[in-house]
Amino acid sequence: MKIKAIAACGNGMGSSQMIKMKINKVFKRLGIDAEIGHMSVGEAKGVANNYDMIFVSETFTSQFRTGKDTKVIGLKNLLSEKEIEAKIREALDMPAEEIWQRYIYDIKKRP
């Protein structure tokens, strides 16, 4: 399954492009196939239901009215890969990093 996501900022220019690159990096590290776009918050509000995830500053999350299949993810630090990863894991019900690494280690140990 490919996840469709948007990185949105106030104007949809520089900040959203930088956020998009960070989000893309995290999805790749997690081994998740994702298609990520970037745009302004105003544009994103109009197309949000066409996406699985919307990444925005926490200050903008209340502006989105989405269906149950779209997750609006508010970020405190827009460029923190650690925060982005934690929020993706939470949204996808993935275990925390430490648990996930132990799980993979346990699988590799099995005969």
For residues 41 and 68, what is the distance between their CA atoms, to the nearest angstrom?
A: 19
**Would you call 9 a catalytic residue per the annotation?**
yes
Residue 2 backbone dihedrals phi, psi, to 5 degrees: -100, 130
Determine which one of 6, 9, 36, 44 is catalytic: 9
CA distance 35 to 105: 29
Task: Give me the active site residues, please.
Answer: 9
